[in-house]
Structure 1
Amino acid sequence: MDIEQALEIVSVTHPGVARSHNEDSVAYDASCGLVVLADGMGGHNAGEIASGITVSLITTEIKHSLESMRPEDRGKGGEDVGVELLREKVRKANTSIYHSSQSQPQYAGMGTTVVAGLFYDNRLAVAHVGDSRMYRLRGEIFEPITRDHSLLQEQIDRGLLSQKDARLSKNKNLITRAVGVDPAVEAEIQVHAVQVGDIYLICSDGLNDMVEDNEIRATLHMLRANLKLVAKQLIEMANDNGGRDNVSVILIKVNGEFAVQRGWLAKILSWFKN
């Protein structure tokens, strides 16, 4: 199945109740299986600039790279193509934002989180920096597949805080890694096998800070047949619970397989496309 037919994608972003402008940026391109979300930070609307640069650069450049690459060649070479592309483009976004912040005083210190997912060949490569998240609902199991780069997560990992106490902590928004703050950054990248029926949720912390994971899971599970309704409901839940931050979600449902055609069949099909 063509990847655009195999994936159903919905995105929504909202400034929240307490903020006057939105520093989150979201984008997706179903034709190449790409989804990107960034949550910016910095004064004078600089966070909006940082998140916008990141989302635009990653989306544009990965799409261009994939269009210039034959499907049967995606996966050849030393490193998985999804990992290679995501790592390279996050680094490039980091350099662009860092140079802008150094050359323009009003943007000094700006940065952004990012979660970028690339679906291809029945797989998902996901790169993340910061505390925006990706979750997966597979059957009855709902779980995060990214791990926050935050002071809070480090305290949990060291056994200094329980998950329950963490939700009450005042250090929720202290991230330990961001795009554009330092001259270089490394995204954490994973590759997962994808199954038909999977639903993936990418969100800024404006959702998971306001809504418990079990409530997110229940909403996804109950309304999974209508992704637009799920997205609308999640935004409303975050805002009803205080809406202290911008809140953004991208939902991806896998409706079919999208394996890359290889070997003699791929060659024959390519003759008809040329």
Structure 2
Amino acid sequence: MEFEFFSATDTGRSRSNNEDSVSIDPGRALVVLADGMGGYNAGEVASNMATSHIRGELGRWLAEASSAASDHDIRRAMSLCVENANRAIYDAAHANAQQAGMGTTLVLGVFRGDAVWLGHVGDSRAYRLRDGSLRQITRDHSLLQEQIDAGLISPEQAAHSSNKNLVTRAVGVEAGVELDVTRHEVLAGDIYLLCSDGLSDMLDDEAMARLLRSGESLEAAAAALIGAANEAGGRDNISVILARAKASPATRSWWPFKR
């Protein structure tokens, strides 16, 4: 399988600075998106620390790992790199009063062969568009999701809740962090969307699916998603990473002929 990537980020209409950070390493088929939180510019610091640390450390591991690296190996490498980024952000927050309490949500993807490994912390999300249908394939670490799981509110009620931004897990807030990692089979034609809540809070799944289906290129689709989120209010920073899978050209040998 071959993969095409594109990323974009926008400040939105209500914020004066952008605390989101996105990073792509096409050579390693690694993508990372973070949505920072904290006073002053601390959220921006946390998200940039997360994306740069994970791209650097996990990218090096992927470069050295053989194609035979097991599912366990990949999951462990992702978790260890996020734990190290968590510790770096946590230590920085405790060393600088202006960065106290900073943290970031996170979603990252590792694409290898016919599979993708997705890791996330908080409410930054990953979706998959397959055969025109969009499906969320990460599960938020948020108060709203816990209320939905407990049957206290419906998903429809959650869409209009004032508690959308209350996450129950973030990178850098505590000394340790748990990364949820899931493995998904990839089919040719799949499009994977990683985004901050500045997109998913502004657009419902059907709107995102429609825009992804209508985009002739990943760049056009990303621009359409961000434009629609801004049209809907743009209440937060908006970041997207898109990845599209296509089958590798078949390798054929002229010898030996078979009769």
* TM exceeding 0.5: yes
Match of 2:45 in 1: 49
Quick one: distance in 2 between partners of 1:202 and 1:152?
20
Match of 1:227 in 2: 218
Offset of residue 244 of structure 1:
0.6
1:30 partner letter: P
Superposed CA deviations along residues 57-99 of structure 1, whole A, max 9, x for unmatched, are 1001111112223334x22xxx523211111111111100001
Report the 3-state secondary structure (helix = DSSP H, G, I; strand = E; otherwise coil) of the residue aligned with 2:214.
Answer: helix
Which of residues 129, 143, 153 in structure 2 aligns to 1:151? 143
TM alignment of 1:169-188, pairs within 5 A: 169-188=161-180
Contact conserved, 1:122 with 1:257, CA < 8 A, in 2?
no
Match of 2:240 in 1: 249
Match of 1:82 in 2: 74
For structure 2, list consecutive stretches of 5 or more residues without a partner in the other structure: 250-259
Quick one: distance in 1 between partners of 2:7 and 2:230?
17
Report the 3-state secondary structure (helix = DSSP H, G, I; strand = E; otherwise coil) of the residue aligned with 1:91.
Answer: helix
Match of 1:71 in 2: 67
Report the 3-state secondary structure (helix = DSSP H, G, I; strand = E; otherwise coil) of the residue aligned with 1:80.
Answer: helix
Quick one: distance in 1 between partners of 2:243 and 2:64?
25
User: How many residue pairs get matched?
Assistant: 249
Which of residues 71, 80, 83 in structure 2 aligns to 1:91? 83
Whether 2:231 is the aligned partner of 1:240: answer yes
Contact conserved, 1:25 with 1:38, CA < 8 A, in 2?
yes
Whether 2:36 is the aligned partner of 1:26: answer no
Superposed CA deviations along residues 131-182 of structure 1, whole A, max 9, x for unmatched, are 0000001113210000000001111111111111111111000000000000
2:229 partner letter: A
Quick one: distance in 2 between partners of 1:148 and 1:66?
27
Which of residues 164, 168, 193 in structure 1 aligns to 2:160? 168
Quick one: distance in 2 between partners of 1:199 and 1:69?
25
Whether 2:134 is the aligned partner of 1:138: answer no
Superposed CA deviations along residues 24-74 of structure 1, whole A, max 9, x for unmatched, are 0001111111000000000011000000000001001111112223334x2
Match of 2:115 in 1: 123
Which of residues 87, 112, 121 in structure 1 aligns to 2:104? 112
Match of 1:211 in 2: 203
Quick one: distance in 2 between partners of 1:117 and 1:48?
21
Contact conserved, 1:196 with 1:257, CA < 8 A, in 2?
no
Match of 2:192 in 1: 200
Report the 3-state secondary structure (helix = DSSP H, G, I; strand = E; otherwise coil) of the residue aligned with 1:67.
Answer: helix
Quick one: distance in 2 between partners of 1:105 and 1:221?
46
Match of 1:268 in 2: none
Which of residues 4, 21, 31 in structure 2 aligns to 1:8? 4
Quick one: distance in 2 between partners of 1:71 and 1:167?
41
1:67 partner letter: A
Whether 2:40 is the aligned partner of 1:38: answer no
2:220 partner letter: L
Quick one: distance in 2 between partners of 1:165 and 1:209?
13
Contact conserved, 1:24 with 1:37, CA < 8 A, in 2?
yes
Quick one: distance in 2 between partners of 1:192 and 1:110?
31
Offset of residue 227 of structure 1:
1.0
Offset of residue 257 of structure 1:
4.8
Superposed CA deviations along residues 193-226 of structure 1, whole A, max 9, x for unmatched, are 1111100000000001011111001111122x31
